[in-house]
Amino acid sequence: MLSRSNAARIGFRGAVGFAWVLPSTVFLIAFFVFPLIHNGLKGFTESGEQSAVTSYARLLTEAYYLGTIVQTLVLSLVVTLISLLLGYPIAYYLVRYADKSANLIIFLLIAPLLTSIVMRTFGWKVLFARTGLLNMLLQQIGLTVRPINLMNGYVATVIGLVHVLIPFMVLSISSVLRGIDRRLEESAQILGANKLQTFLLITLPLSVEGILTGSILVFMLTNGAFVSILLLGQGTIHTLPLLIYQQFMVTRDVNFASAMGNILLVFALVCLFAQLRVLRRRN
């Protein structure tokens, strides 16, 4: 009797617990899982006038679209590398040398994230313009006579993206650096390693997890970046998000747009899988 009533109670509790998660489950299924599946299948249906070839085949065979995919990945790679090269020293300084200024540095780092993306991007446009602040400065100090075309698109886009994504890199690396026992570095030094050897043989290998986590984050976020590329790229950069926007809003080829979206989704999943592997190795 007792065990039966217990079982009933547990069953009842389970039911109550399920009731709590029911709304969010229904919401996610209706607005996330279903559209995802629907979207995934859409790419296999007819696309535009080319009825025989499915969207995926077109994306992966036509030079223009392949080029776009490559350009998306290359841009992400460039932004990731620059963020890493700039971010590692910042993270190192933040953890090792900054005591009182640490909060200020973190604030400055995440400030771009607190600013509206449109404001931020137009800010860069103002700075980079032919008669903008940067060109005026360069002319004043005599580095150039005529204004340089800083708004050529690619450079401006990379700068804009690095600016907003670098905090992800710095915070990922600094959290791992902070966890490194300083006595490991001291051990290496006592054993005869100089500062550079200590960094290359001890500190850097031990911070690889932070580097990977930060890189994966920046890579994924650049893959999906849209406004910065649209406004700063001046039409010179064609990445998948821009193409999706075109297909969806201009060409109105929804099937093709969703196929591209799914390609991006696959990249994101690969990145997430890589990140999972990194985290698992840590444990």
CB atoms within 10 A of CB 252: 11
Stretch of 57-65, 74-82, 152-160, 192-200 lying at the interface with other proteins (CB under 8 A)? 192-200
- Binding flag, residue 187, other proteins (CB under 8 A): yes
- Binding flag, residue 151, other proteins (CB under 8 A): no
Stretch of 26-34, 101-109, 193-201, 261-269 lying at the interface with other proteins (CB under 8 A)? 193-201
Q: Strand, helix or coil at 179?
A: coil
Which residue's CB is nearer to other proteins, number 50 or number 194? 194
- Binding flag, residue 175, other proteins (CB under 8 A): no
Q: Strand, helix or coil at 52?
A: strand
Among 45, 197, 236, 251, binds other proteins (CB under 8 A): 197
Task: State how far the alpha carbon of 14 is from the alpha carbons of 7, 20, 22, 47, 81, in Å.
Answer: 10, 10, 12, 46, 49
Among 189, 234, 246, 275, binds other proteins (CB under 8 A): 189
Stretch of 142-150, 189-197, 241-249, 271-279 lying at the interface with other proteins (CB under 8 A)? 189-197
Cα-to-chain-centroid distance, residue 263: 16
CB atoms within 10 A of CB 70: 10
- Binding flag, residue 194, other proteins (CB under 8 A): yes
DSSP assignment string, 138-164: HHHTTS-SS---TTSSHHHHHHHHHHH
- Binding flag, residue 188, other proteins (CB under 8 A): yes
- Binding flag, residue 193, other proteins (CB under 8 A): yes
- Binding flag, residue 186, other proteins (CB under 8 A): yes
Give the nearest distance from C-beta 194 to other proteins in angstroms: 5
Among 205, 270, 276, 277, binds other proteins (CB under 8 A): 205
Say how far apart CA 45 and CA 154 lie, in whole Å. Answer: 35
Amino acid, single-letter form, for residue 16 = V
Which residue's CB is nearer to other proteins, number 16 or number 190? 190
Say how far apart CA 176 and CA 179 lie, in whole Å. Answer: 5
Residue of 240, 230, 265, 210 whose CA lies nearest to 73: 240
Interacting residues with other proteins (CB under 8 A)? 181, 183-184, 186-194, 197, 202, 205-206
